[in-house]
Amino acid sequence: MLQALARANISFWFSIIFASIGFSVLLFAFVSHTSSDIAGTVVKVASGAIIDAISVRFFVQSTNAQKSMSEFFEKLRLDRLNAEAREMIAEIESVPMRDQLRSQLILKYSGIDKLLDGSR
């Protein structure tokens, strides 16, 4: 997990660096533009656009990594809460109450909110 965080951090900084370089190339292309050298200006603008496109790719990669890590930490949090709930249920001395709570926990894990009511 720390490797993913380090990669996301590196990706973010690369995106910042490439975005700065691309913007600088674009700015230089417009400042140094002369009507006699349109081809040179087009090459400079294309170069800046390509560099900025690379930086966008790094931004997207960094954002996806952050999203993935957030989902992972949310799952860890839920796992910890479930483990704590199982420990608390195990401490209940009343066997019928403990069994009922275990059944409810099993239903929750299986995604069933409530049992079907057969008294229709």
What pLDDT does 115 receive?
A: 62
> Global pTM?
0.56
User: Which residues, 6+ apart, have CB-to-CB distance to 64 below 8 Å?
Assistant: none
Q: Which of 20, 21, 45 is nearest to 32 (CA)?
A: 45
Tokens of 55: 């930086």
SS (H, E, C) 56-100: HHHHHHHHHHHHHHHHHHHHHHHHHHHHHHHHHHHCCCCHHHHHH
| Separation between Cα atoms, residue 118 and residue 44, nearest integer Å | 74
Tokens of 119: 């008294």
Do residues 18 and 55 touch, judged by C-beta distance below 8 A? yes
Residues 76-120: pLDDT tens digits? 998 898 889 889 988 989 999 998 888 888 888 887 766 655 544
Residues 6-54: pLDDT tens digits? 777 787 888 888 888 888 888 888 888 888 888 888 888 898 889 888 8
